[in-house]
């Protein structure tokens, strides 16, 4: 009995320090990014910042590659409290119509332009998110999107005729590529590689960081540099779950949402150069598309957004006005 008591006491003594440093809260961050993606680097940088500030009050754990669900599933799990943070991008245009502004082709010129839009119009997007039960605590990015396919190089919109092209689950991206003459096919990101490999679809459109990390260069022949859309990504929480967190925890998390943005933008810009080389090295044929032709073909999308979204025309004007000085 004495020996057993002594052993138990020894175990307790060993375990005490572990328990003493265990976080009170585990906060799960789910995203769709593959290993090596910008999303992975962004979420991990946010977690590193947060965990450094939170100490033993809470711990942020990241789960990429759709481990906690695809974008729509994560949006649902946020409200159920099964996931704390998500990192949606294009899908937000189907959550609230205001986010469709970022689906307008060529409306965001560069990251400095995006920072001004965020500074001047952030309240518009926060209100839109809040109206659907969410809160934005940081702006990251998915990046500037380009087209890959196995049919032909894409120089003008006419070259997209008949091409079955995967798009995210967002209404405006579908309308855009219908306008360009493609056959857009909404599909979850995690399904794209297999769909390309088995020729269910001909191509897809994504930033280099998503193309390379998902290894699309292994199953695609052509990359056409279109830069047709810049997609922000949002560090998103459910408001009902957010308000349950201690105030000091919320403050630290919001600080990290803001502080991590600089890392994200710098890392994204670096990847644009490095990963284009990776894609070329895989034997993918690369061409610069005629952006003026795409811009000219995009006017009906702007007209539709202005007509269908309350205040859409004013939003377009405001975003375009903030492009000056980029």
pLDDT digits (tens, 9 = 90+) for 92-119: 999 999 999 999 999 999 999 999 999 9
Mean pLDDT over each residue of the chain, to the nearest integer: 93
In a domain, 2, yes or no: no
Q: How confident is the model at residue 13 (pLDDT cuts 50, 70, 90)?
A: very low
Cross-strand bridge partners of residue 146: 206
- Could you tell me if residue 31 is inside a domain? yes
Angle between helix 171-180 and 299-308 (nearest 10): 150
The stretch 51-69 carries a mean pLDDT of 97
Q: Is residue 3 part of a domain?
A: no
pLDDT at 23: 66
Number of domains in the chain: 1
Which among 134, 88, 119 has a CA at the least distance from the CA of 234? 88
Nearest to 58 by CA among 28, 23, 21: 23
**pLDDT at residue 177 greater than cutoff 60:** yes
List the one residue out of 30, 130, 128 whose CA is nearest residue 72: 30
Q: Which residues make Cβ contacts (< 8 Å) with residue 2, sequence separation at least 6? A: none
CA 17, CA 21: separation in Å to the nearest integer?
6
Instruction: Enumerate the H helices of 132-170 as residue ranges.
Output: none
Cα–Cα distance between 143 and 87 in angstroms, integer? 13
What percentage of the chain carries pLDDT values higher than 70?
92
Q: Domain limits at 179? A: 11-321
**Interior angle at CA 31, CA 244 and CA 79, nearest 5:** 30
Q: What is the pLDDT of residue 18?
A: 35
The answer on pLDDT for 20 being more than 50 is: no
Q: What is the pTM of this model?
A: 0.89
pLDDT at 2 over 50: no
Q: Determine, yes or no, domain membership for 1.
A: no
Q: How confident is the model at residue 325 (pLDDT cuts 50, 70, 90)?
A: low
Residue 6 lies in a domain: no
Per-residue pLDDT band at 171 (split at 50, 70, 90): confident
Max Cα separation, the chain?
A: 86
Q: What is the pLDDT of residues 215-229, one digit of tens each?
A: 999 999 999 999 999
Comparing 37 with 7, which gets the higher pLDDT? 37
Can you list the alpha helix ranges (DSSP code H) found in the chain?
2-20, 38-54, 71-80, 111-131, 171-180, 192-197, 208-213, 239-242, 247-281, 291-297, 299-308, 312-321
- Rounded Cα distance between 72 and 81, Å, is 15
Q: Are the C-beta atoms of 163 and 258 separated by less than 8 Å? A: no
pLDDT at 170: 84
Answer whether residue 129 is part of any domain.
Answer: yes
Handedness of CA 308, 311, 317, 320 (dihedral sign): negative
Closest CA to 140 of 203, 65, 75, 86: 86
Residue range 268-323, pLDDT digits in tens: 999 999 999 999 999 999 999 999 999 999 999 999 999 999 999 999 999 999 99
CATH code for the domain in which residue 90 is found? 3.40.190.170
């Amino acid at each position: 009995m004495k020996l057993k008591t002594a052993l138990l006491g020894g175990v307790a003594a060993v375990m005490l320090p572990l328990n003493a440093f265990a976080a009170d809260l585990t906060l799960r961050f789910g995203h769709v990014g593959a290993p090596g993606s910008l999303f992975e680097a962004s979420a991990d940088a946010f977690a590193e910042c947060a965990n450094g500030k939170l100490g033993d009050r809470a711990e942020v754990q990241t789960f990429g590659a759709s481990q906690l669900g695809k974008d729509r599933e994560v949006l649902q799990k946020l409200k159920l409290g099964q996931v704390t943070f998500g990192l949606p991008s294009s899908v937000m245009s189907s959550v609230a119509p205001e986010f469709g502004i970022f689906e307008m082709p060529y409306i965001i010129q560069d990251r400095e332009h995006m920072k001004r839009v965020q500074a001047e119009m952030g309240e518009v997007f926060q209100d839109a998110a809040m109206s659907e039960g969410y809160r934005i605590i940081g702006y990251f990015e998915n990046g500037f999107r380009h087209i890959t396919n196995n049919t032909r190089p894409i120089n003008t919109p006419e070259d997209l005729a008949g091409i079955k092209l995967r798009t995210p689950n967002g209404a405006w991206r579908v309308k855009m590529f219908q306008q360009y003459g493609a056959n857009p096919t909404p599909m979850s990101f995690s399904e794209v590689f297999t769909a390309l490999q088995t020729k269910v679809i001909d191509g897809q459109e994504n930033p280099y960081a998503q193309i390379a990390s998902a290894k699309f260069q292994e199953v695609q022949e052509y990359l056409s540099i279109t830069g047709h859309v810049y997609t922000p990504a949002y560090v998103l929480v459910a408001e009902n779950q957010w308000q349950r967190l201690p105030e000091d925890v919320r403050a630290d998390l919001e600080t990290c949402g803001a502080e991590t943005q600089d890392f994200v933008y710098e890392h994204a810009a670096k990847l644009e150069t490095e990963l284009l080389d990776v894609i070329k090295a895989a034997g993918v044929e690369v061409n610069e598309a005629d952006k003026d032709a795409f811009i000219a073909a995009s006017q009906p999308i702007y007209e539709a957004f202005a007509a269908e979204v309350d205040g859409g025309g004013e939003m377009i004007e405001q975003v375009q006005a903030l492009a000056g000085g980029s």
